[in-house]
Amino acid sequence: MAAREYGQYCGVTRALELVGERWALLIVRDLLVGPRRYGELAAGLPRIPSNILAARLKELQGAGIIRRAPRSRIIIYELTPYGRELEPVVLALSAWGFRALDEPRDEQVVTPDAMTITLRSAFQADAAASLPPTRYAARIGAAELDVRVSGRALAIARGAAETADLAFAAGPGIRRLLSGELAAQPAIATGEIELLHGPAALLDRFALTFRVAA
């Protein structure tokens, strides 16, 4: 038996043998947002050593979780259908881990892909279904996202939306907004969330749409 195997006939152990190594699920997390090049992955995981990134990409490929897709001259990594089915795992980890976050420290970065997954895991489809379609331009830390909600559908793209209904910038306060610890209007009042464009009431709608349940 390979040394790193757990010696059990069990789905959990098999899953951990495939994606349980350090950094592996973070690569999957970013690829869940979209196909990425090697350099994009490295940028989204600033602390990963390049040899580890290269090794993980090979292992994930061997396990049938990701594939290399040559596009003209550049190489793109993308999830296979089986790899995409890790989405429930990553979203569950995101929702659970989010509640263990405290205030961000200086050395902690907020990447667009990580924030996209955070919002996906916080998305309340039931609540959104009864709300009008809304487009948000959210700047959270250094990450700018174009967030479109329409009924039970959610689409998040990188970059700021040109014609958002609401544009806002948030720092650490985003955590307490998403956890429900802090309501939208107090967050604006204290400056924890800065409105850049659009009616303040739409931030209440945002808070209804995205919520990490306690």
* Tally of CB atoms within 10 A around 209: 20
164 binds its own copies (CB under 8 A): no
The answer to whether 176 and 198 are in contact (CB under 8 A) is: no
- Cα–Cα distance list, 175 to 14, 45, 124, 128, 170 (Å): 33, 21, 16, 20, 9
15 binds DNA (CB under 7 A): no
The stretch among 20-28, 35-43, 66-74, 196-204 that binds its own copies (CB under 8 A) is 20-28
16 binds its own copies (CB under 8 A): yes
8 binds DNA (CB under 7 A): no
Compute and round to an integer the Cα radius of gyration of the chain: 19
Q: Which of residues 33-62 bind DNA (CB under 7 A)?
A: 37-40, 47-52, 54-55, 57-58
Smallest separation, CB 109 to DNA (Å) = 14
The stretch among 50-58, 102-110, 126-134, 196-204 that binds its own copies (CB under 8 A) is 102-110
The answer to whether 154 and 123 are in contact (CB under 8 A) is: yes
- Cα–Cα distance list, 89 to 13, 25, 28, 161 (Å): 14, 9, 10, 29
Interacting residue ranges for its own copies, rule: CB under 8 A:
1, 6-18, 20, 22, 25-26, 29, 45-47, 63, 82, 85-86, 88-90, 92-101, 104-105, 107-111, 114-115, 117-118, 121, 141, 212
